Amino acid sequence: MRRREMLDQLADRIVALPRAHPPRVAVDGIDAAGKTTLADELVSPLMARGRSVIRASIDGFHRPRVERYRRGATSPEGYYLDAFDSSALREALLLPLGPTGSRRYRRAVFDFRADRPLLAPDEVAAADAVLVMDGVFLLRPELRDLWEYRIVVDVPFEVAVERAVCRDVALFGSAEVVEARYRERYLPGQRLYFAAVHPRERADVLIENADPANPLPLFRKAE
């Protein structure tokens, strides 16, 4: 399937969701699968269908560095269990946009690069708003019932490593360091998540994204 066709299909399904409150859309997947790109690309077709879009990322809900690395910088358990603040994500963003929420939300609470909290004021969601959020581990138990639509972007681990080496050298300093970090921390952390949560099976659509120009969306059949 061509990418434009897939994006239109996703947008059609999202705008068809009930509108008693802003639908909350998760774009989950392993590191370097293409989550952020897909979430960014969804903004235009959703807006073309008359909806305003709240874009957010799990990167705005990191824990402080001392908490993220308390088990060690290469710990898979530390990545899955300690890297992100699920409670802050629930309280600041997902619950306010939910069925009993106030629609007053914050799309980020922490600057992980500066390692300090963000003090941005609350925003108010429009009546026609849709939340599109990308990130790892979005379907973990404490979050999985807070989404109206669940997208999982899927690529083989080796493809993810190849992409990460191209993308993250400036962040980590060398291709060797990037590959080591992925093989020691990020991908084993994802294996822990897969074993505990089975995100592929929970997705409303699983997108095979090894070839981004020709993705394969597998939509869950209506129950």
First to last CA, the chain: 24
At residue 84, the pLDDT reads: 98
Contact 69, 106 (CB under 8 A): no
Contact 132, 23 (CB under 8 A): no
Other CB atoms within 10 A of residue 99 CB: 9
At residue 44, the pLDDT reads: 98
Write the CB contacts of 196 (distance below 8 Å, at least 6 apart in sequence).
Answer: 140, 141
At residue 172, the pLDDT reads: 87
Tell me whether residue 222 is in a domain: no
Tell me whether residue 175 is in a domain: yes
Q: Which of the residues in the chain have pLDDT under 70? A: 222-223
Residues 191-210: tens digit of each pLDDT: 999 999 999 999 999 999 99
Q: How many domains does the chain have?
A: 1
At residue 222, the pLDDT reads: 59
> CA torsion 185→187→192→198, rounded to 10°?
160
Closest CA to 27 of 50, 54, 1, 5: 54
CATH of the domain at 12: 3.40.50.300
Tell me whether residue 46 is in a domain: yes
Write the CB contacts of 73 (distance below 8 Å, at least 6 apart in sequence).
Answer: 185
Closest CA to 94 of 140, 41, 48, 46: 140
Kind plus residue range of the DSSP H or E element containing 67: helix 65-68
User: Rounded CA gap, 170 and 160, in Å?
Assistant: 17
Tell me whether residue 219 is in a domain: no
Tell me whether residue 220 is in a domain: no
List the domain range (segments joined by +) for residue 76: 3-205
Tell me whether residue 78 is in a domain: yes
At residue 129, the pLDDT reads: 98
